[in-house]
Structure 1
């Protein structure tokens, strides 16, 4: 953890060594070089508490947030075909991840975590326990959670929405279910829902049901605008990389009220249409490292990755300071 903290400290030193009146998300406005308390806060931030150095009035839309794609996918029958993460949910959060992509199969009026047809040897209760425990230990943080129905429902007596409600009703104070993108101060210690499933009782999280397939698209909702790059079938890694960096540029220069979600994940179909996840991640992840070594400040949005790691998360987190 000392090395992880050091990376953030170096970023803070760069910020506070710059000239007076530089704009920073740390206080939501202008800072002066003499504000030593702010410098101290930034210098002391760690990966499991980095949001604590950012002001309450900062909208989540204005941050760069490391995330994981298919966050619970750590099991596969054949190498490279289903596993998307090395770290557990809790390890991801401790490593700075603040966006989780949770895929739930509705089975027996409960949620099992799946990647396609493959059960991931964990259930939604396990995910929530990891999140609640993390937030209890790190109350300055928030977790943005996308929830999507996965694979075939079976043996249920109620809708996916009704089963989801049974989970949130157990700990209602731990959830932010409004349909507007909140400020950080509104949601410290809470899970912010990005809803990819249909709902009859709304508001129920940030609306994301009109998710286009395998492309870059915009969802315009009454109270939020969400801009997504999610090309998951990747015939050419260079084309995927161009899509990623194009959305990075949009996020850095675009409307600060838009929520950007930029999936760096994907798979390439090999012989007999067998998917290879690592063919994409092994090419894209080193490019992400290089990109954020060269682009050290700005708003880049939520960045869900395959095989997220603390060192890459640190580079992304540093861009907030």
Structure 2
């Protein structure tokens, strides 16, 4: 009997050790590797960034939205990128509004593809949107986009539905915010509404909160928190994208981006300090940090 008791204790210790090791098996660079292939991207909590390439501004608070480079964001756990491109001379430059961000689409793709090659268990949802004024082009925006895709076609997943991790590992999943006539087209988000919360229903079901011109900060946080709670209690086949970002319109309409992130980001941090488990969709944030990404990632486990 004593030997059986010892054996039982040993088995329990091994089981708990195995569980503990499993819970600590991932890092921010490869956290998706711990999740089943059958899991849809819509069933996850995903750290994301708004205006992911915006790191430069001439006037403080008016254009910069991130401190981390694209490569640093991905290493920190970010798996949703919001890429805004100007169509200029048959190529894409990265812009936030009229402000050129001192990088081009090739640089973004090089960073993403390098990351995926080094971390093949991961996927990146990439929202691509046309920004600012097109100039000096001899082809359409869609044609230029296809030109970029054709450089590394095996790194793109252009499905129109929300894929599973098994489908998407090692690839960029396109969330398309530009018009396209040719197939494949990616996830169609062209019905995006301005400065509000809304749903899009086609081959993919999207539920989005993007109240960005923030005249009422209490409403901004209420909208953000409500969307988290809705995502956690709703059908996991719908992809929730919750923009915590925004700007406060100042004198002459000059935007103050940090006024919103300075107030909302600590509330998001507190939310994920309290809500440590569940499905909360994509958090598209300004000034994402590795620490906050870790809290969002942890809710998946």
| TM-score (norm: length of structure 1) | 0.88
Match of 2:173 in 1: 192
Q: Please show how residues 51-200 of structure 1 align to structure 2 within 5 Å.
A: 51-200=32-181
Query: Structure 2 stretches of 5 or more lacking a match?
Result: 1-13
Query: How many Å apart are 1:40 and its aligned residue?
Result: 2.8
Query: Structure 1 stretches of 5 or more lacking a match?
Result: 1-32
- Secondary structure (helix, strand or coil) at the match of 2:52 reads coil
- Secondary structure (helix, strand or coil) at the match of 2:92 reads strand
The reply to whether residue 228 of structure 1 matches residue 208 of structure 2 is yes
Query: How many Å apart are 1:271 and its aligned residue?
Result: 1.3
Alignment partner for residue 275 of structure 1, among 255, 258, 267? 255
- Secondary structure (helix, strand or coil) at the match of 2:100 reads strand
- Secondary structure (helix, strand or coil) at the match of 1:303 reads strand
Separation of aligned partners in 2, 1:99 and 1:266? 17
Separation of aligned partners in 2, 1:255 and 1:46? 28
Separation of aligned partners in 1, 2:81 and 2:34? 21
Per-residue displacement from partner, 1:158-217 (whole Å, max 9, x unpaired)?
110000000011111100001011100111110000000000013311110000000000
Task: Describe the shift of the 1:34–1:277 C-alpha distance in structure 2 as closer, same or farther (beyond 3 A).
Answer: same
Query: How many Å apart are 1:151 and its aligned residue?
Result: 0.4
The reply to whether residue 215 of structure 1 matches residue 196 of structure 2 is yes
Per-residue displacement from partner, 1:223-277 (whole Å, max 9, x unpaired)?
1110000001001211100000111111000111101000000000111211000
Match of 1:242 in 2: 222
The reply to whether residue 264 of structure 1 matches residue 244 of structure 2 is yes
**Segments of 4+ in structure 1 off by > 6 A?**
none
| TM-score (norm: length of structure 2) | 0.94
Separation of aligned partners in 2, 1:43 and 1:115? 37
Separation of aligned partners in 2, 1:271 and 1:157? 39
Separation of aligned partners in 2, 1:56 and 1:40? 20
Query: How many Å apart are 1:125 and its aligned residue?
Result: 0.1
Separation of aligned partners in 2, 1:263 and 1:138? 26
The reply to whether residue 313 of structure 1 matches residue 293 of structure 2 is yes
RMSD of Structure 2 on Structure 1 (CA) = 1.2
How many residues matched?
288
- Secondary structure (helix, strand or coil) at the match of 1:246 reads helix
> Which one has a bigger Cα radius of gyration?
2
Match of 1:18 in 2: none
